[in-house]
Amino acid sequence: MPRRRFQKGSLVEKSGRSYGVYRVDVLQANGTFKRDQRWQPLGLVTEQSKRAAWKQFQSHLDEVNEAAKKLPARAGLTLSEFVREWRTHVAVNLKGSTTRAAESHLRAHIIPKLGNLYLPGITTKSVQGFVAHLASGGRSRKTAENVLLTLSCLLKTARAWGVYLRRLPLCRPDLAARRSEDRAAIIHG
């Protein structure tokens, strides 16, 4: 997903002309984004002041920043599509028991709940909803942690491949709180 950062841009004078320079994220054919530098011609240096050039460039930057806010979260691959690639490129290199456990997590938990989400649409909020789904389904705490570990490994691989740019804190604070409650119950109980 493109980084939705605010563009300040910069002014460059080259060959007697003023240019506004900024960057845009361009969607590649493979679903990844590449940052390209763009130059916006603003006119001759002798015909306008630096302040006037900034004012002219600012209207263009405002359009770029507004467009970045409206970028669709559906760009790129869905989690299911990514899992297919992951299976052919990564899972074949894992030990058999690891692959079996990951496939079980994918088949029973991850793909049914998150498979239709586009990778850029997987946010902390959607993962927290997934954690709540796992907790409410009567699954053990260890199962939930293992499923989250599998999801974390998938997203880490997607980030390494450049198709997912978020960093999600998959060490959930609510899980840590429950862990201390479990210890207190064991000690006092």
| Full-model pTM | 0.53
**Percent of the residues in the chain that have a pLDDT greater than 70, as a whole number:** 77
Q: What is the pLDDT of residues 70-87, one digit of tens each?
A: 655 445 788 898 899 888
Beta bridge partners of 10: 21
Give the mean pLDDT of 10-14. Answer: 90
User: Given this structure, which CATH class describes domain 79-188?
Assistant: mainly alpha
* Region of poorest pLDDT, from 108-117, 146-155, 158-167, 170-179: 170-179
pLDDT over 80 at 6, yes or no: no
Structure tokens at 11: 């002014």
User: Could you count the other beta carbons within 10 Å of the beta carbon of residue 58?
Assistant: 13
Backbone angles phi, psi at 116, to 5 degrees: -85, -5
What is the C-alpha radius of gyration for the chain, rounded to an integer number of angstroms? 23
Length of the chain: 189
| Strands of the sheet with 17-27, listed across from one edge | 10-14, 17-27, 33-44
CATH 1.10.150.130 in the chain is located at 79-188
Give the mean pLDDT of 39-46. Answer: 90
Q: What is the DSSP letter of 48?
A: S
- Cα–Cα dist 21/72, whole Å: 24
- Cα–Cα dist 91/56, whole Å: 52
